[in-house]
């Protein structure tokens, strides 16, 4: 049992089983031992890889997207550019480089990076060092100053804790983490059904609820509807109401047991885009998409950008560009679109009556 498992076991001995949501929040965010407090998880030597780490094209296209959104906003003289969970800072560095096409955008922005991990904050500082734009770091979005804002969140919502409810004996019981007979962490169910949950269900069916993600969306969308700007959220997720669980633990590019060595593996759940859309609309904002990542990147011109990069590249660089392109965007018109191209979704949130941002022109009602 590692240090965090011991802390959680002591909590359970003291106060009884904890919810899965609380367990996930501790495993990811415990100040001393949480995964996103202590680890540098990205890249070949880490636990997983993300789109900005696959190719510079991803962050560059998002940079051009931000410039266009700023134009659609009427070219404000000052704008906060916020990134939630910026990882190694690669996306932000590529974004700022591409945004050089519009010096007035660059002089309008200041940067706000919302990051809990001290090692990742260091990488981010290094990645954007010398960019000439003021930057500050925050523990949460609530700390970022008010005013018009563009928020970028790539693979952030999927790191927020979820609740599970399991249908049993005619009611939905919350999944909890308790201790088995040997004193090891193990899953169980709350003794009583959840009083407010009355949806019909079959025995053993699981309901996954991302309240933290919906709450964050409500906060961001309220701010955007009232103060102007846009949010761009990109994540592995689904758009239709669905049942079943998607919680997974990932360690060194493979699946792991979510209860084994908390804080050592990344815990994620697929993002429920229906709930995010509902939260954004409830806040009075407009929703664009979600669009599959591959389609959205194609509309933004990733194939043209790849052709341009290829024209200055040698044979092995061309092969690397093609592999990254296939991974991020798939092959247009082919069934072979990769998991990332198909299963990752892109959603934008703007104030009501804002024109469709780039890549969403065909999606808006
Ligand atoms: C899956 S990584 C994605 C990194 C980056 N966006 C990328 O695409 O490469 C999740 C990021 O969110 C940060 N993070 C996770 N939970 C957080 C929280 N509750 N508050 C702030 N940052 C968090 C992590 O430290 C990490 O930078």
Of 36, 38, 139, 161, the one to substitute when testing ligand 1's pocket (max ligand atoms within 8 A of C-beta) is: 36
- CATH code at position 327: 3.40.50.150
Ligand 1, pocket-test mutation among 22, 51, 156, most atoms within 8 A of CB:
156
Structural domain range at position 109: 37-160+212-241+262-350
325 in Cβ contact with 57 (< 8 Å): yes
Q: Is residue 2 one of the residues assigned to a domain?
A: no
The answer as to whether 172 is a domain residue is no
pTM (two decimals): 0.95
Quick: pLDDT tens for 287-318.
999 999 999 999 999 999 999 999 999 999 99
Write b or e for each residue in 274-291: b if 16 or more Cβ atoms lie within 10 A of its Cβ, otherwise e.
ebbbebbbebebbbbbbb
Q: What is the pLDDT of residues 187-198, one digit of tens each?
A: 999 999 999 898
Report if residue 17 sits inside a domain. Answer: no
Cα–ligand 1 centroid distance for 75 (angstroms): 29
With respect to residue 199, please indicate whether it lies within any of the assigned structural domains. no
Q: What is the pLDDT of residues 14-45, one digit of tens each?
A: 999 999 999 999 999 999 999 999 888 887 77
268 C-beta closer than 6 A to ligand 1: no
In a domain, 122, yes or no: yes
Looking at the 3D structure of the chain, how many domains does it have? 1
What whole-number distance in Å separates Cα of residue 105 and Cα of residue 99? 7
Cis before 301 (ω within 30): no
> Does a structural domain hold residue 20?
no
Buried/exposed 129-149: b ≥16 CB within 10 Å, e otherwise:
eebebebebbeebeebeeebb
173 in helix, strand or coil? strand
Contact 134, 111 (CB under 8 A): yes
Structural domain includes residue 174: no
pLDDT in tens, 200-220: 999 999 999 999 999 999 999
Would 111 be classed as within a structural domain?
A: yes
């Amino acid at each position: 049992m590692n240090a965090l498992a011991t802390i959680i076991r002591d909590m359970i001995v003291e106060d009884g089983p904890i919810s899965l949501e609380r367990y996930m929040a501790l495993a990811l965010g415990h100040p001393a031992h949480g995964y996103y407090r202590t680890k540098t998880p990205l890249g070949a030597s880490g636990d997983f890889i993300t789109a900005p780490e696959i190719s510079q094209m991803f962050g560059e296209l998002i940079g051009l997207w931000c410039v266009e959104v700023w134009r659609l906003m009427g070219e404000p003289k000052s704008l906060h550019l916020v990134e939630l969970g910026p990882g190694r800072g690669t996306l932000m560095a590529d974004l700022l480089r591409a945004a050089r096409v519009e010096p007035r955008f660059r002089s309008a922005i200041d940067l706000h990076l919302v990051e809990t991990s001290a090692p990742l904050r260091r990488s981010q500082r290094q990645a954007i060092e010398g960019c000439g734009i003021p930057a500050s770091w925050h523990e949460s979005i609530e700390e970022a100053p008010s005013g018009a804002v563009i928020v970028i969140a790539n693979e952030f919502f999927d790191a927020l804790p979820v609740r599970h409810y399991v249908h049993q004996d005619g009611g939905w019981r919350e999944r909890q983490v308790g201790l088995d007979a040997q004193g090891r962490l193990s899953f169980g169910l709350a003794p009583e059904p959840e009083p407010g949950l009355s949806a019909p269900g079959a025995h053993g069916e699981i309901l996954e609820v991302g309240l933290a993600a919906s709450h964050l969306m409500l906060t961001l969308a309220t701010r955007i509807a009232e103060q102007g700007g846009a949010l761009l959220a990109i994540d592995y997720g689904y758009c239709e109401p669905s049942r079943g669980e998607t919680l997974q633990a990932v360690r060194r590019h493979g699946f792991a047991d979510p209860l084994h060595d908390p804080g050592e593996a990344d815990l994620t759940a697929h993002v429920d885009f229906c709930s995010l859309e509902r939260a954004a609309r409830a806040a009075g904002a407009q929703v664009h998409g979600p669009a599959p990542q591959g389609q959205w990147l194609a509309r933004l011109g990733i194939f043209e950008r790849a052709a341009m990069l290829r024209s200055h590249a040698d044979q092995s660089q061309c092969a690397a560009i093609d592999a990254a392109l296939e991974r991020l965007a798939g092959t247009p018109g082919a069934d072979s679109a990769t998991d990332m191209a198909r299963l990752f979704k892109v959603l934008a949130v703007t104030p009501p009556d804002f024109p469709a941002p780039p890549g969403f022109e065909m999606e808006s009602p």
